[in-house]
């Protein structure tokens, strides 16, 4: 009704100018607007005096001294997280400290009215909870439903669940690919620690392959949306996408709504699966540590992976997302007649390896990262040029190809690999060194685990040769005592007075009685020494 007031009054004014306005017209307008006839006549009188009154009849008069939200109030709202009462107390305290006193601050109800009037709900939410809270009040467009494999989205997610990884409670990371047309999870990889480009490549292989146990979802997509993650934009990953003829769409920063399919999956997995698992860590407030029962038994990494893959199978075959209108992702995938682009397993494995350039195969094998790799197929092949390709962080094995023809020759394994006991001893030495050297703590304690696509025990990455293990253990044992020594604790004594000592060294010595000159030195002759240090006989006379 309020929106109709302006057009109705303007129509009555036009009829008055034409000489056609009657009381009957005013009465009908009042009935339609649910106001009295007198009110309509008052609106017409105000519009005759002021043209602006015809735009908003009956609006409250704008006073010149009405309080409005200032930049200072906005800053205080952000400081106090949207607490208007705290902002009012701050304004009152500031006004009391000023000399001479200024105008008193507005009352609390006035401040509330001004904030509701001058700030939008999104601005109020943003000042109270940040950008993520403000984004809930924005309006977003939805992409039209496309065809399968037209676009994929990928992302990392740290699961809020503590998992037992080699006796240590860790929060694993999940890397997955989703199909935007069918909401299907095409590929997934789980790592016990922070993911890397190896996790992306493992998830990509599981997403593209359609043979057991990965199918039926898969094939090559037309494009993949990523969010500026350095792992997704690394040289190895982008090279794999280029070879597979997949366009990488790098989205702007802080725009999660542009890949809403995978972000919705990140939000759905926590209440649907992770919240019911042992070791679930509730999201704590900033500055608060997450707590859990002390007697709680954590899942092993293998059990966690098995439950996550079972939930993924349920999501793809039984769950019915709202955008699919009652269909499961599997039904939507099978109903789509779009042809799929498949890649042979051997070729896909080759494409998702990192290239290390060419090497010469010698009698000691292939030299890579200052270590030798050998294989049974190398017999009689010494002297040829080969190309090395490897999976990042899997330094126990590399793949060898012929440099000229590109033909796959075979795998090569690390020669003289250290035993488990030597590797454990090296890790203990590294841990002891990291406790003493705070600067090296983060680098020495970082461990990598292989990403998995099937339930299996966590596999630690990083191998050592026997020579490397013995050298590091010897260095650690030799430097233990040297690191505890304090050579500058007791400064040297002051040299004799007759010595010419530089001033820079003299200040580092201990003040007091000078050190006596040893006998036979060239610093002074025998008579001079006797004169400087006279002796006494038994009667006390000097001789």
Rounded Cα distance between 171 and 296, Å, is 15
pLDDT for 162: 92
pLDDT for 109: 92
pLDDT for 296: 81
Cα torsion for 349, 355, 359, 365, to the nearest 10°? Answer: -40
CA atoms within 13 A on the CB side of 428: 9
pLDDT for 283: 60
Per the CB < 8 A criterion, the answer to whether 164 and 188 are in contact is: no
pLDDT for 437: 66
pLDDT for 51: 74
Radius of gyration of the chain from its Cα atoms, rounded to whole angstroms: 40
**List of residues 6+ apart from 319 with CB closer than 8 A:** 328, 329
pLDDT for 291: 62
Helices (H), 336-487: 345-351, 420-436, 441-445, 466-484
Distance of CA 496 to the CA centre of its chain: 64
Question: Mean pLDDT per segment of 10 residues, for the chain of length 543 residues?
Answer: 83 88 90 89 85 74 71 92 93 85 84 92 91 85 86 93 90 94 93 88 89 85 90 87 90 85 92 91 61 78 93 94 91 93 84 84 88 84 87 78 86 78 69 66 64 84 77 70 60 77 73 54 45 44 44
Query: Can you give 201-265 as a three-state secondary structure string?
Result: HHHHHHHHCCCCCCCCCCCCCCEEEECCCCCCCCHHHHHHHHHCCCEEEECCCCCHHHHHHHHHH
Taking the alpha carbons at both ends of the chain, their separation in whole angstroms is 129
Residues 92-119 as b or e (16 or more Cβ within 10 Å = b): eeeeeeeeeeeeebbeeeebeebbeeeb
| Token pair in block for residue 29 | 């307008």
pLDDT for 303: 94
């Amino acid at each position: 009704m309020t929106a109709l007031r302006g057009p109705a009054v303007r129509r009555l004014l036009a009829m008055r100018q034409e000489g056609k306005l009657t009381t009957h017209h005013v009465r009908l307008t009042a009935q339609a607007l649910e106001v009295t006839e007198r009110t309509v006549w008052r609106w017409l009188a105000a519009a005759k005096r002021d043209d602006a009154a015809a735009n908003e009849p009956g609006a409250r008069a704008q006073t010149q001294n009405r309080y409005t939200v200032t930049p200072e109030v906005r800053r205080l709202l952000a400081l106090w997280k949207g607490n208007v009462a705290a902002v009012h107390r701050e304004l009152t305290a500031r006004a009391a400290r000023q000399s001479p006193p200024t105008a008193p601050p507005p009352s609390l109800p006035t401040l509330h009215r001004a904030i509701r009037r001058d700030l939008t709900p999104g601005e109020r939410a943003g000042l109270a909870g940040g950008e993520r809270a403000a984004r809930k009040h924005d309006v977003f467009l939805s992409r039209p439903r496309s065809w399968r494999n037209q676009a994929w989205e990928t992302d990392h997610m740290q699961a809020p669940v503590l998992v037992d990884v080699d006796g240590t409670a860790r929060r694993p990371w999940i890397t997955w690919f989703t199909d935007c047309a069918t909401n299907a999870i095409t590929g997934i990889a789980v790592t016990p620690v922070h993911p890397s480009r190896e996790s992306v490549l493992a998830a990509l292989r599981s997403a593209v392959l359609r043979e057991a146990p990965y199918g039926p979802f898969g094939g090559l997509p037309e494009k993949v949306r990523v969010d500026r993650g350095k792992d997704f934009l690394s040289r190895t990953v982008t090279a794999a996408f280029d070879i597979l003829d997949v366009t990488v769409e790098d989205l702007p920063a802080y725009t999660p709504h542009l890949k809403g399919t995978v972000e919705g999956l990140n939000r759905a997995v926590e209440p649907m699966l992770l919240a019911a698992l042992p070791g679930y860590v509730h999201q704590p407030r900033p500055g608060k540590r997450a707590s859990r029962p002390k007697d709680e038994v954590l899942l092993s990494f293998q059990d966690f992976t098995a439950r996550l893959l079972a939930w993924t199978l349920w999501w793809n075959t039984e769950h019915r997302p709202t955008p699919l209108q009652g269909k499961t992702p599997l039904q939507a995938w099978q109903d789509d007649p779009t042809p799929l682009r498949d890649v042979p397993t051997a070729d896909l494995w080759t494409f998702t390896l990192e290239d290390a350039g060419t090497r010469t195969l010698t009698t000691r094998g292939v030299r890579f990262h200052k270590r030798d790799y050998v294989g049974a197929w190398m017999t009689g092949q010494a002297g040829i040029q080969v190309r090395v390709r490897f999976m990042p962080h899997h330094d126990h094995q590399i793949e060898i190809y012929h440099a000229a023809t590109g033909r796959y020759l075979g795998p090569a394994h690390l020669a003289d690999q250290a035993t488990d006991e030597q590797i454990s001893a090296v890790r203990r030495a590294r841990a002891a060194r990291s406790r003493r050297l705070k600067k090296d703590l983060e680098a020495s304690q970082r461990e990598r685990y292989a990403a998995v696509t099937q339930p299996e025990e966590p596999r630690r990455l990083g191998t050592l040769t026997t020579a490397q293990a013995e050298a590091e253990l010897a260095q650690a044992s030799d430097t233990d005592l040297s690191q505890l020594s304090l050579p500058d604790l007791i400064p040297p004594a002051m040299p004799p007075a007759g010595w010419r000592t530089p001033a820079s060294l003299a200040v580092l010595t201990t003040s007091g009685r000078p050190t006596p000159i040893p006998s036979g030195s060239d610093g002074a002759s025998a008579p001079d020494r006797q004169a400087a240090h006279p002796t006494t006989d038994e009667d006390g006379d000097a001789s």
